[in-house]
Structure 1
Amino acid sequence: MKPERALHRDVTRGNAAGTSYSVYPPRAGDACETVVLIHGVGMNQSVWSPQIDALTARYRVVAYDMLGHGGSTMPAPVPTLGEYASQLERVLDELEVERAHVVGHSMGALVALEFALTHPQRTRSVVAMNAVYDRTPGQREAVMNRAATLGDAPAEAGIDVTLTRWFGDPVPAHLTKAAEAVRELLLTVDPIGYARTYQLFARSDDAHVGRLSALAVPALFLTGECDANSNPAMSQAMAAVAPFGRAQIIANERHMMNVTNPAQVNERLLEFLLSASTASTASDRPSDAGGCHD
């Protein structure tokens, strides 16, 4: 299906082989590189709204709904990370984007890394925000237990526990609005899509162990100091083995730091993307001399 022009923000919305997506044009007329945003389990593309204005200052931004979420189709009953990486490939094909900066949060970070490892020629850089990596046995048991309890309907109690992990208990007053918005996303996500995706997320923390040394693009591993499940040690471990990796930790932040502290997250993203763009432009200059080929 070809995209339709929306009536606000000059956003273009469309559907690529079952994937609902939005494209936000850059505010700078000569900007041509694309940044793709991949949300986490239980969310949808709207969770990136705090990043759109900042990123469109320099880039075209594509946000889409992961399989089983928002307006996108279901994954297989027992999906793989490759299935989610192929979803991103289809979106890029639909939009005729040759290469993109790929930014993923939580489960989206696993997808972003999988895509960068399997499609390096289409990846300018990768950002893994609040990513999981090589959980301890105790951490793995806890997340597998949560995955095993998922049924066919959202559980209010489970959502409360999740919000406590992500925002704190009690939720700070200045984060109440953000927490309620996230709660609404968790309440309205398709329960089957959520369960299938979460179960993949639960068993995929070792999916990139032993593989990140082959990551051929600039990589930022960004997490919050107080994110217990996607903790700083994980980001630092990934950055240590990725050839062009760096880790950054945002003080006092938890798992949903893109909505709780967008100013800091946006600053780190833009700083990294600009450096990756500069490196990419330098390496691409002979072949890109005729113009922009995103």
Structure 2
Amino acid sequence: MPPSRHDVQYATVHGHRRAYVKVGQGPVLLLLHGLGCDHTTWSPVIDALARRYTVLAPDLLGHGLSDKPRADYSVGGYANGMRDLLTVLGVDKVTVVGHSFGGGIAMQFAYQFPERTERLVLVASGGLGPEVSPAIRAITTPGFHQAMGLLTLPGVRHLGVAGLRRLAALPTSATRDLGEVADIYDSFKDPHARAAIRHVVSAVVDWKGQIVTMADRAYLTQAMPMCVVWGRNDQVIPVRHANNAAALAPGARVEVIPNSGHFPHKDHPERFAKIVHDFVRRTQPASYSRSRWRRLLAQAPTGAVAPAAPALQLAEAAPGA
């Protein structure tokens, strides 16, 4: 992955070393990256956010500079790991911001630890519908580990990475995310990273698409401010999943950023930082109440809640918004 612009620190939790960046002062924003990425995916927005907040951006276990053991790579396991890292670092409550797979972890964290979650920001998040890029589904197929071992041999990998970056430079929205894909592909040269990613994907995706969904627990967002941010030209998880979020959690703020792909925080960092700050500024942090949580659980809808996508007119973030 690209070199970090910020000082990387380490904490050992359950015997595994975890890398993280912590900068700024104020209320804590916990930034959770997506599949195959690391904290550097947030580099374009960390400094802007750190002017008002304490920004904590970890490398998830199995990613970046964190250890890559044979371990629990489920969404619930990651949420537990974030709870324990926060405890080690002396952080009590956070606004959790999750991108892609990190969005699924953010939702799970908010569900498991509502007493430690002030707000929820989902960025092109998983867990809002079944559709996902065929490239991610392919990771679950037999032989992926062996095939990627061949494709990441030095000469082949260098050609592949260079080709992806050339495609990313083309003036078309269809290839805008391939620069980040090139970094992920390059990271697969580490067999431990490949194995970790395969375990991660197998826990949340099968050949039909995404398995894990927030649909059956979306009613719990009544107790927590939620913002959803998406890129209009997302080629990894379709932007219509933002409609699903609006249908599942009617109180959520939804922002669709034009001329942006799967990484809106990288495509338009200033606009993204402004959206996050405006959301935090305009909302009161959730205050956990066991009695309210019990009441919500007791009044839960019966049966699965389908993530229907009605024809909602989602507001697009205006330039400078």
TM-score bracket, normalised by the shorter chain, equals 0.7 to 0.9
Instruction: Give the deviation of 1:82 after TM superposition.
Output: 0.5
Instruction: Give the deviation of 1:230 after TM superposition.
Output: 2.0
CA contact (8 A) 2:122 2:229 kept: yes
Instruction: Give the deviation of 1:259 after TM superposition.
Output: 1.7
Instruction: Give the deviation of 1:14 after TM superposition.
Output: 2.1
Is 1:210 matched up with 2:216?
yes
Q: 1:173 to 1:15 in 2, by over 3 A?
A: farther
| 1:280 partner SS | coil
| 2:88 partner SS | helix
Query: Could you tell me how far apart the structure 1 residues matched to 2:236 and 2:183 are?
Result: 22
Query: Could you tell me how far apart the structure 2 residues matched to 1:205 and 1:140 are?
Result: 14
Is 1:128 matched up with 2:122?
yes
Counterpart position of 1:184: 183
- Alignment gaps of 5+ in structure 2: 289-321
Is 1:46 matched up with 2:46?
no
The farther-off stretch of 152-161 and 93-102 is 152-161
Query: Could you tell me how far apart the structure 2 residues matched to 1:109 and 1:168 are?
Result: 29
Instruction: Give the deviation of 1:185 after TM superposition.
Output: 4.4
RMSD: 3.4
Counterpart position of 1:280: 285
Is 1:113 matched up with 2:107?
yes
Q: 1:129 to 1:177 in 2, by over 3 A?
A: closer
Amino acid at match of 1:210: D
Counterpart position of 1:222: 229
| 1:223 partner SS | strand
Query: Could you tell me how far apart the structure 2 residues matched to 1:72 and 1:192 are?
Result: 14
Counterpart position of 1:254: 261
CA contact (8 A) 1:214 1:243 kept: no
| 2:65 partner SS | coil
Q: 1:186 to 1:234 in 2, by over 3 A?
A: same
Is 1:13 matched up with 2:9?
yes
Q: 1:185 to 1:193 in 2, by over 3 A?
A: same
Instruction: Give the deviation of 1:141 after TM superposition.
Output: 7.1
- Alignment gaps of 5+ in structure 1: 1-7, 27-31, 285-294
Q: 1:12 to 1:42 in 2, by over 3 A?
A: closer
CA contact (8 A) 2:74 2:200 kept: no
CA contact (8 A) 2:103 2:124 kept: yes
The farther-off stretch of 214-223 and 12-21 is 12-21
Query: Could you tell me how far apart the structure 2 residues matched to 1:49 and 1:108 are?
Result: 16
Query: Could you tell me how far apart the structure 2 residues matched to 1:269 and 1:135 are?
Result: 26
Query: Could you tell me how far apart the structure 2 residues matched to 1:262 and 1:178 are?
Result: 15
Once the two structures are superposed, the pairs formed by residues 147-186 of structure 1 within 5 Å of their partners are 147-148=140-141, 150-152=144-146, 153=148, 155=151, 169=167, 171-172=169-170, 180=179, 183-186=182-185
Instruction: Give the deviation of 1:168 after TM superposition.
Output: 10
Render the CA deviation track for 1:27-76: whole Å, top value 9, x for unaligned.
Answer: xxxxx210011111111111111111110010001010112112223365
Q: 1:238 to 1:198 in 2, by over 3 A?
A: same
Query: Could you tell me how far apart the structure 2 residues matched to 1:197 and 1:232 are?
Result: 23
Instruction: Give the deviation of 1:85 after TM superposition.
Output: 0.4
TM-score if structure 2 supplies the norm length? 0.71
CA contact (8 A) 2:73 2:196 kept: no
TM-score if structure 1 supplies the norm length? 0.76
Instruction: Give the deviation of 1:169 after TM superposition.
Output: 4.8
Amino acid at match of 1:199: S
Amino acid at match of 1:273: V
Render the CA deviation track for 1:186-230: whole Å, top value 9, x for unaligned.
Answer: 312521122222333425444312111112311111111111332
CA contact (8 A) 1:45 1:63 kept: yes
Query: Could you tell me how far apart the structure 2 residues matched to 1:228 and 1:102 are?
Result: 24
